Amino acid sequence: MAEDTRPTKPAREHRDVWITAEEAPDWMSHSTDEGAQTMRLDESQQRLVEQMGVRVDDDYVLDDQISEDERMIINMGPQHPSTHGVMRLQIELEGEIVRRVKPIIGYLHTGMEKTGESLMYMQGGTNVTRMDYIAPLFNELVFALATEKLLEVEIPPRAQAIRILMTELNRVASHLVSLATQGMDVGALSMMLYGFRERELILAFFEKTTGLRMNHNYIRVGGVAADLPDGWEEDIAEIVEKIPVGVADYEDLLKSNPIWEGRTRGVGVISAEECLAYGITGPPLRATGVDLDLRKSQPYSGIEQYEFDVAVGSNGDVYDRYRIRVQEILQSLRIVHQVANRMPAGDYRTDDRKVTPPPRKRIDESMEALIHHFKLFTEGFKVPEGEAYVAIESPRGEIGCYIVSDGSAKPYRMHIRAPSFANLQGLPIMLADSLVADSVATIASVDAVMGDVDR
């Protein structure tokens, strides 16, 4: 290389990456047998040098002292596809490395807690079911359980079994969406098709039972809206038979796939202590080795009668969260199978006429039934004064409902403790000092549903 006679920029404190032969330190000439290996500008850099008349320095230095202008803040979202909704992440980058993250939420906020104060308990289900739209039955169940706690209503065993059957199917459907979208985000596009293929079986069953594929308003205070449809046993048998076959497909595709493992192992790590400190529940917490599952520790709706295992990970990374979701699908199907085999006979809702409307036949026969029907649908039922917090295990973690009643037919205050909202607090920890490319895999593994976060 000819000697550079053009004026150079004044020397800076950092080390020059482009070293000319004259500047080459001694160790370079001794490092190979062929003599000094001079690092040369490649052609495009060379051309830049010629055009601009100055030397182009790659002034990124791996040093502790990095000036402010080395850092870049970029916005990811709110319309980024990997955020699965509308979430914005303010990411502070240092080159390719994420240093700090601030989740910015609220784009989907519709004031559902305020709306819930002006709806009767009977109508409340239609409101809460729209929060976590991937797992709506859990919202309905937790709202119904909190109201029933205040009402002190006994729920017949068949209604409880139907509730468990439907929510566990919903857990499977929710985890399938999570796996499908996570696969898509990381690059396993077939996973997207596989996940939605199996989920369709469950949604078809939901449509048959509740009339809707989402926002069911099926689990009501006092029981469920309708009994299971004719031929439900065959549908459940088909689901229990076919979905494990699909899951085997995912295992073939992902479990020991080197690309998948490379993208997920050791990525987005969070420790158990951090999870507990930040109130993170569900698969992200269980992936760290803490076996907190409210179905086991604080069972609801008679789920303690059924046998199942809690899937627990050890590393707290994206891969462990993925493994837990796969295993929870199989465990939930195990519960569904047991519920279907042991479905008790009886009524699908309580016969307490203050809470459930009388059957259609009784209205023609009985004056009292007509009055109950009329009062129930105009005034609603009154809930005794008090307050209660009920929590259940949703696919995303602990979903809780806090209701304050003033003795009227509408809740004085209705608050939903959203698992996604709390789990998002872990995102800055999981993403710190990771690569930008890993952030997509990490966001997908938290599985935050924006309707649940913003409410």
Partner 1 sequence: MTEEPINDAEAAEEAPEAPPRPLPDHPILAGLLEQFDTVEWRLSSGQDTAVVPKSQLRDFALAARRAGFEMLVDLTAVDYLRVRKIRFEVVVGLLSLQHNIRLRLRVPVPAGEPGDDPTVPSLVPVYPGANFFERETFDMFGIIFEDHPDLTRILLPDDWVGHPLRKDFAVGAVPVQFKSSPQVT
What is the binding site for partner 1 (CB under 8 A)? 105-106, 109, 111, 113-115, 118, 149-150, 276-281, 290, 292, 297-298, 386-389, 391, 398, 400, 402, 404, 406, 412-413, 415, 417, 421-422, 424-425, 454-455
Residue closer to partner 1 by CB (options 83, 338) is: 83
Q: Least distance (Å) from partner 1 to the CB of residue 389?
A: 6
Residue closer to partner 1 by CB (options 132, 198) is: 132
Residue closer to partner 1 by CB (options 263, 286) is: 286
Q: Least distance (Å) from partner 1 to the CB of residue 36?
A: 54
Residue closer to partner 1 by CB (options 161, 285) is: 285
Q: Least distance (Å) from partner 1 to the CB of residue 204?
A: 35
Q: Least distance (Å) from partner 1 to the CB of residue 131?
A: 13
Q: Least distance (Å) from partner 1 to the CB of residue 241?
A: 36
Residue closer to partner 1 by CB (options 21, 310) is: 310
Residue closer to partner 1 by CB (options 125, 411) is: 411
Q: Report the 3 state secondary structure along the chain.
A: CCCCCCCCCCCCCCCCCCCCCCCCCHHHHHHCCCCCCCCCCCHHHHHHHHHHCCCCCCCCCCCCCCCHHHEEEEEECCCCHHHCCCCEEEEEEECCEEEEEEEECCCCCCCHHHHHHCCCHHHHHHHHCCCCCCCHHHHHHHHHHHHHHHHCCCCCHHHHHHHHHHHHHHHHHHHHHHHHHHHHHHCCHHHHHHHHHHHHHHHHHHHHHHCCCCCCCCEECCEECCCCCCCHHHHHHHHHHHHHHHHHHHHHHHHCCHHHHHHHCCCCCCCHHHHHHCCCCCHHHHCCCCCCCHHHHCCCCCHHHCCCCCCCCCCCCHHHHHHHHHHHHHHHHHHHHHHHHCCCCCCCECCCCCCCCCCHHHHHHCHHHHHHHHHHHHCCCCCCCEEEEEEEEECCEEEEEEEEECCCCCCCEEEEECHHHHHHHHHHHHHCCEEHHHHHHHHHHHCCCHHHHHC
Residue closer to partner 1 by CB (options 172, 418) is: 418
Residue closer to partner 1 by CB (options 89, 292) is: 292
Q: Least distance (Å) from partner 1 to the CB of residue 344?
A: 25
Q: Least distance (Å) from partner 1 to the CB of residue 297?
A: 5
Q: Least distance (Å) from partner 1 to the CB of residue 286?
A: 12
